[in-house]
Amino acid sequence: MRWIFWLGRSPQEIFFRAIERCGILAPMEKLKGMCLMLAVVAYGCSAGAYTPGATLIAGLKQYEGEMRLRGSSLSRWPERQQAGGALKTVITATLGGSAEFYRLVDLDARKREYLITLRETSVRPERVEEMKNELVKMDEEIDALKPIVRAQIATMPIQGEGQQGVEGVATRGLLSLALDGFSANGARGIEAPSTKVDQYLVTDLGTFATVRSPDGQAHRCVLFGAVEEGAGIKCDAVR
């Protein structure tokens, strides 16, 4: 399963690859508008293959992976900033843009820089106290923003996945879990995170997810594709 989608690609390159894949050619400087990318990702070049929900899930997983990989050194802050910019591009392309979601990304990046600074450098005691107080305020703002972003995600159409189908359930559940874990404090618990979507139980096991229906039938769901071209989700019954 491929989670690393963005390495070495600028947002402009991502736009160009997606557009070129559908045979649409345009000068690079004219690719600033996000609507064209939204159309490519939302509806895809093939019927139902790639969806905005799955692409957003993949983008969030990619961001978290990048931050874990590059989150231990102050000198790597430009790469962390690039990862944040790439996630904002995914948000724009899949959700149509969200000032609140962009703010969440900015706050998460800022939190990480503060935590790395406190851990890796010698900071004056008075500044340490100031930074800890600012971290508390950031967490409070993140907690206030998440319900707004959750409501925005809930309105996202899941083209090709079927609102009542297993893929649609998996997408909704994984998006909810990804938002729960975004910029959350503390390490992930021993048990895999799970959530209820209607009467279904969705569990995120990292490289794949499971969906258990009310009658006990289990499905194994995996993401496929690449963010720069769109991602989809496929679920198969476990026998």
pLDDT per residue as tens digits for the range 183-222: 988 666 678 999 999 899 999 999 999 999 999 999 999 9
Q: What is the pTM (predicted TM-score) of this model?
A: 0.78
Written as six digits, the tokens of 45 are: 């070049």
pLDDT higher at 98 or 1: 98
When pLDDT is cut at 50, 70 and 90, the band that residue 9 belongs to is very low
Question: Mean pLDDT over residues 106-127, rounded?
Answer: 90
Report the pLDDT value the prediction gives residue 1, as an integer from 0 to 100.
36
Question: Mean pLDDT over residues 94-105, rounded?
Answer: 95
Report the pLDDT value the prediction gives residue 188, as an integer from 0 to 100.
65
When pLDDT is cut at 50, 70 and 90, the band that residue 37 belongs to is low
Count CB neighbours of 16 within 10 A: 20
Per cent of the chain over pLDDT 90 is 56
pLDDT higher at 39 or 58: 58
Residue 157 has pLDDT above 70, yes or no: yes
Q: Which residues of 124-141 are buried (b: 16+ CB within 10 A; e: fewer)?
A: eeeeeeeeeeebeebeee
- Write the CB contacts of 140 (distance below 8 Å, at least 6 apart in sequence): none
pLDDT higher at 145 or 68: 145
Domains of the chain: which residue ranges?
Answer: 11-237
Question: Mean pLDDT over residues 152-162, rounded?
Answer: 73
